[in-house]
């Protein structure tokens, strides 16, 4: 039995069933500015009262007892003006996550179905024929807050980080499987990777495991002509970083236009940037990661594409320790790629993150030969674009190099950036030419 067949047999709410509870939340006067500017979150300090809340949370005991965490309720401004519908979680500082912004569009399975189908239609429009592996649901940016679904060929990997949407995940998965099946794609397996620590902030336990029938969790995919095995069970996040797809192609294009360039690929993970450069014609690639598991997977991916150690060499090392050692050894590269993990996951930790980004960029720039190229990025939305630009500029001054910007890019369009929702804009990617003698 495939996962798609398993989903069809589930008994889920009828299309026209109203999923909204009888509870109503009122905002404080002057609150909800982010919501009114296009955001989808309401914080705990913005709420005046909840009528129909659990007894321990309600400021009005006479209306308590009708609503539980995860329930969908109507949101009203301080003066009673309707702002839409969202689900509540009293364990979270993000008290309400919006599902609908219109009073005339209450939340029903039909509305969820429309959101899912709109999301798939969007991917087909912006990704064209190359939708074998892509992100098909991107939380708030697809108006389905707190849930992410990646498609790796005929396997779905889901990450659920919000209580309200967690209750709707089977409905969402069923609708998605049906939409894909109409385009000739039968989903054979679904794996849940809801093991991020942020779930604890929602009062939820960490979880990973199969949804429906079991299957081999090493999933073969092809991206930009490169073959990979995606470990959806134990790989980072959902197993593979789909958001860098076109950024990998951009640096590979430069590698293909240079005479057998030497490439240094830092924080390689599954080896993707280095493999794209090797396929484009790089003479030699050194790919580095601190994780032995990542290096093992990357080496296997290289073999899968016919690249031996003479073309791609893998090294398990701390990049912060390796870069100074390479510099001291007099190594120089035609292309240096810096794709670090997010150095900050909170605004409070941004100062330390700046130090980290500045350090690796100084070291990376010093390893680029005169006239060579640096690809550098940040995947933290707290490291805002202007701040990242400033940090790179400071690093260039410290490294005593001049930078000529070749390209600035963001995440691939299957990870849409929703204006008004700053969380959806997280990936900043630069390619520079590095000059030393100007």
- Least Cα distance to 230 among 287, 279, 298 occurs for 298
User: What Cα–Cα distance (Å) separates residue 56 from each residue in 64, 66, 76, 83?
Assistant: 8, 12, 21, 25
Burial of 275 (0-12, 13-18, 19+ CB in 10 A): buried
Strand pairing report for 72-76 and 94-100: unpaired
- Tell me phi and psi for residue 5, to 5 degrees: -65, -40
- The single residue of 134, 266, 377, 379 carrying the catalytic annotation is 379
What is the residue-wise DSSP string for 11-80?
A: ----TT---EEEEEEEEPTT--HHHHTT--EEEGGGEEEEET--TTT-S-GGGTTS--TT-EEEEE-TTS
What is the sign of the dihedral through the CA atoms of 252, 254, 259 and 265?
negative
The whole-angstrom separation of Cα 179 and Cα 120 is 8
Burial of 160 (0-12, 13-18, 19+ CB in 10 A): buried
- Assess whether 379 carries a catalytic annotation: yes
Looking at the annotation, which residues are catalytic? 379
């Amino acid at each position: 039995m495939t996962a798609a067949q398993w989903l069809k047999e589930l008994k889920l709410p009828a299309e026209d069933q109203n999923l909204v509870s009888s509870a109503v939340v009122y905002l404080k006067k002057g609150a909800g500015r982010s919501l009114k500017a296009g955001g989808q979150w309401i914080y705990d300090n913005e709420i005046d009262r909840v009528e129909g809340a659990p007894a321990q949370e309600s400021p009005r005991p006479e209306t308590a007892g009708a609503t539980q965490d995860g329930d969908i309720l109507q949101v009203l401004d301080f003066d009673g003006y309707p702002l839409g519908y969202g689900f509540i979680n009293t364990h979270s500082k993000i008290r309400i996550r919006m599902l609908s912004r219109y009073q005339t569009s209450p939340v029903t399975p039909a509305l969820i179905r429309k959101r899912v189908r709109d999301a798939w239609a969007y991917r087909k429009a912006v990704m064209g024929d190359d939708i074998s592996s892509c992100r098909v649901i991107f939380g708030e940016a697809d108006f389905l807050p707190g849930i992410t679904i990646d498609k790796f060929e005929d396997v779905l990997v889901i990450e659920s980080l919000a209580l309200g949407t967690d209750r709707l995940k089977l409905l969402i998965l069923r609708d998605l499987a049906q939409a894909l099946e109409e385009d000739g794609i039968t989903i054979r397996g679904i794996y849940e990777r809801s093991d991020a620590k942020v779930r604890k902030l929602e009062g939820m336990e960490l979880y990973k495991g199969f949804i429906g029938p079991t299957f081999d969790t090493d999933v073969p995919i092809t991206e930009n002509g490169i073959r990979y095995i995606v470990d959806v069970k134990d790989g980072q996040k959902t197993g593979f970083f789909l958001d860098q797809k076109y950024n990998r192609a951009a640096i590979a294009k430069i590698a293909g236009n240079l005479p057998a360039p030497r490439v240094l690929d830092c924080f390689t993970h599954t080896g993707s940037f280095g493999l794209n450069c090797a396929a484009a014609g790089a003479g030699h690639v050194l790919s580095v990661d601190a994780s032995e598991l990542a290096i093992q997977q990357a080496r296997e991916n290289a073999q899968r594409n016919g690249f031996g150690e003479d073309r791609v060499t893998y090294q398990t090392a701390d990049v912060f320790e390796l870069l100074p050692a390479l510099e001291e050894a007099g190594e120089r590269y035609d292309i240096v790629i810096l794709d670090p993990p997010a150095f900050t996951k909170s605004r409070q930790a941004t100062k330390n993150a700046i130090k980290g980004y500045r350090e690796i960029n100084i070291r990376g720039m010093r390893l680029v030969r005169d006239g060579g190229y640096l690809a550098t990025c940040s995947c933290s939305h707290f490291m805002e674009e202007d701040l990242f630009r400033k940090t790179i500029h400071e690093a260039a001054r410290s490294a005593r190099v001049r930078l000529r910007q070749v390209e600035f890019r963001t995440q691939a369009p299957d990870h849409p950036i929703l204006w008004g929702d700053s969380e959806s804009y997280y990936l900043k990617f630069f390619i520079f030419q590095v000059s030393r003698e100007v």
